[in-house]
Each structure stands twice: as structure tokens, then as C-alpha cells.
Structure 1
Amino acid sequence: MSDSDKLTHLDASGQPAMVDVGSKTPTRRVAVARSRVVLGPKIMALVKEGDLPTRKGPVFQTAILAGIMGAKRTSELIPLCHPLGLDNCRVTIEPDGPDAVLIECTATVTGKTGVEMEALTGASVAALTIYDMCKALSHDIVIQETRLLSKTGGKSDFQHEA
């Protein structure tokens, strides 16, 4: 295996280790991740009338807040992730066809390490929040395809091709 093919969170003896970013120069880094949540036509019909009100608050507004909070706490959830003070985090939720929504989380930091995990965590937590808040209406909700769409600002940029 070449050096570029090696897992980054293992030391020379194969033990878990945090990546040392101490010698890196801070750069502006942006990552975008997406989750798709299939709600079904019944719940989507309710969504088309506006955000669903619940005792916890409107579903999508609550999911947006939860996604941002999740992104901010990524290092507490994912072992060996560096704690980052995000410059910005934005979560959007849009309809996708007759029965689903797309959640996009954009995380931004000026730092020595990327924000891919923060963007992925934000999208995932928002999707889980929608599931939690809508499960009383249906247990057929499916969280699909959480994926990184793009990242910029580190050693290499990445753009998912449709």
C-alpha cells in the first residue's frame, strides 16, 4: 500500500491515533453533505401545506437546528475527530419529488483540518430528527444516501459528479 492509500487514523504500529495537524497551515475549508429522507406521499402532502407543527416545534426548523448542533459536536461523537470551532454551518431542507426531502449541510472553518465529518454529521442528525418527529405518522420513513458532495481547502479538493 502506498503512503497515499494508508488509513490516516492509525499509527506506525497499527494502533488508533489522532492525525497530527500541528504543522499544517490554516486554510478556509468548506464541505457539503446531503441526506435524502423518503417520507412517503402522506407526510409529503402535509409538508406541502407548510412546515409540520409538533409539540417539539416545526419539524424542519427543529431539524435544521439539530443538524447545526450535531455538526458543532462532531468531535464528541466520532472518535479521533479534531474539535473545530466552525466559522459557519448551514442546513437546508427542500422537497425532492413527490415523497422525499433533501437535506444539505454546508460546514465552513478556517483551520488545519477539514470539515467533511461535520457536514456529514449535520446532514445525518437533521435526517434523524425528521424521522423522530414524523415517526408517529409512519414507520415507513427511510433515510437514504448520506454522502459527501464536495470539499475544498485542504490537500485536495473533491466534487461528487452527479
Structure 2
Amino acid sequence: MDINLTHLDENDRPKMVDVGAKEPTKRIAVASGMIKMSKEAYDAVVHNTAKKGPVLQTAVVAAIMGTKKTPELIPMCHPLLLTGIDCDVEELSDLPGFKLTVTAKLSGKTGVEMEALTGVGIGLLTIYDMVKAIDKGMEIINIRLESKEGGKSGSYQRHG
């Protein structure tokens, strides 16, 4: 099986893919992840009693910042002119914990999957940081791409 790795040149050296000849298209990626925590930590977040301040609002700001900073964190990601970033936090009282969903949008020559995924990771890490004094055993779980639209590979929708 001959596999063409796009981030390696003919001498197996890392390279950034040249997207210069591609036509811009509308691209959207949605990623999500969860953080599982103790009931005590969950209650502190929900009732805004965590000592470091408003956890969920701060996590949303961090997720947006993480999405925007992706090319500084992931070596082969292109700097992108994002046109929109939406974040949603869902309370999961049965877990207990929270689900963070990030939607990244642009009109461009390359996808925004890594940006959405990075935003989720940074947002969830921010929640961990802000309540770790209450629960150091929190788990960040199920960070994944939910869907994408646009580009050569077309649409993707996670099933199940």
C-alpha cells in the first residue's frame, strides 16, 4: 500500500502543505469533549462558588482563544482567518461534569477541524485548572470531531 503523507517532502522531512492553488470554500467544524468531576466540584461550578471565579464563562473565553491560537500550538496548521467561533457548555449532572462544544467557521483553503478540537481541549483544561483545588481527579474525556463541512473531502458526520 503506497501512502502519500502530505506533511513530508520527498526526503521525509516535515513540511507545511501548500494550499495556495486551492479555491476558498466555506468550512465549518464542530468538536466536543467532556470533563468528569466530583459532585462537589460540579456544584461549585454550577453555583459559581469556585474560588477562581466564573468557571464556565472563563472556559468559553479560553476555548475561543485556543481556537484562534491553534497554528501556534500545532506545528503544521496554517494560520487561518476565522470568521466565527461558537461555544456551548452543557451541564451533565449525571456524570457529573460538563460537555463543551466548539464550532469554528471560515471561508478558506484549508479546514478548521484542528481549530475546533484545540478550542475544546483548551476550554476543558481551563475548567480543570479553575477547580483542581476541589478535585484533582477530574478526567477530560471524549474529545472528538463531531462534524465538518467543506473542502475536497466533503462533509463528515460522527455516527453514534
TM (normalized to structure 2)?
0.92
Shift of 1:23: 0.5
Structure 1 residues 129 and 20, CA gap change in structure 2 (3 angstroms): same
Q: Which residue of 1 aligns with 2:41?
A: 43
Q: What are the Cα deviations for residues 75-104 of structure 1, in whole angstroms up to 9, with x where unaligned? A: 000001100111001111111242121010
Q: d(CA) in 1 for partners of 2:49 and 2:69?
A: 26
Structure 1 residues 52 and 63, CA gap change in structure 2 (3 angstroms): farther
Pairing of 1:26-105 with structure 2 (within 5 A): 26-49=24-47, 51-55=48-52, 57-98=53-94, 99-105=96-102
**2:44/2:50 contact within 8 Å kept:** no
Q: d(CA) in 2 for partners of 1:61 and 1:104?
A: 14
- For 1:14, give the aligned amino acid: D
- For 2:118, give the aligned amino acid: T
Q: Percent identity?
A: 47
Q: Which residue of 1 aligns with 2:125?
A: 128
Give the aligned CA root-mean-square deviation in angstroms.
Answer: 1.4
- 1:76 is paired with a residue whose SS is helix
- 2:106 is paired with a residue whose SS is strand
**2:104/2:115 contact within 8 Å kept:** yes
- 1:34 is paired with a residue whose SS is strand
- 2:128 is paired with a residue whose SS is helix
Shift of 1:35: 1.1
Shift of 1:13: 2.1
Structure 1 residues 52 and 149, CA gap change in structure 2 (3 angstroms): farther
**1:36/1:127 contact within 8 Å kept:** yes
1:109 to 96, 102, 106: 106
After the TM superposition, which of the residue ranges 128-137 and 39-48 deviates more from structure 2?
39-48
Structure 1: gaps (5+ residues): none
TM (normalized to structure 1)?
0.91
- For 2:58, give the aligned amino acid: T
Q: Which runs of 4+ in 1 moved over 6 A?
A: none
